Every structure is written in C-alpha cells, then in structure tokens.
Amino acid sequence: MAERKEDVRYRRTAAYYRGALALGLTEPAQVVSWADGLIEHEATVPDALYDVSLATSRSRWELYSTLRALTSFELEEAESVLFGGPLDGS
C-alpha cells in the first residue's frame, strides 16, 4: 500500500523536528505547537501526534523519543529536511 501524502508530510516534518531538537535548533514548545496545530486543523492525524501534543512538560530528549513513533529518523531523511529538502515528500 502506498503512503498517503499526509503521512509522508507528518513523517518528514517529525524527522525535521527530531533532528532540530537533537541539534538544539528548536525548543520543545515549538514541536508541541506543530502537533497542536495539526490536531486542530486536520480531519485525521496519526495517533502519535496526540502523544506529542501532550508532551508539554517533557524534556527535549523525552519529546525526541516520542517523535520516533512518527518517523524512523533515517539520517539521510533528517539531513534532507534540515538542510533544504521538501517537507511534503515531493
């Protein structure tokens, strides 16, 4: 079964945020805000986004681990999205 475009977008954006958290380029609150926005505006979202949304009191590294459910965080994919690749998988 082919991935839906939305699934690719969530996966790639989660990879971006996971890498950005690891490198100290973003704060956990920004990642939680991303998840909150998707939950608020999308008809359906992956269940793992609810875990990210509820991670307001978790540390950077706990949130980093939580994002793993949305992406396998392949190094090449993280490099692509962190350094100029498209977030939508195109």
What type of residue is 68? R
Q: How confident is the model at residue 8 (pLDDT cuts 50, 70, 90)?
A: confident
- Please choose, from the candidates 45, 86, 61, the residue with its C-alpha nearest in 3D space to the C-alpha of residue 53: 45
pLDDT, one tens digit per residue, over 9-29 is 788 889 889 889 988 999 999
Question: What would the pLDDT profile of 41-77 be if each residue is shown by its tens digit?
Answer: 998 888 999 999 999 999 999 999 899 888 865 555 6
The helix-helix angle for 5-23 and 28-41 (nearest 10°) equals 160
Between 1 and 56, the more confident residue is 56
Q: Taking Cα atoms as reference points, which of 25, 27, 24 lies closest to residue 58? A: 27
**Exposed/middle/buried for residue 78 (C-beta within 10 Å: 0-12, 13-18, 19+):** buried
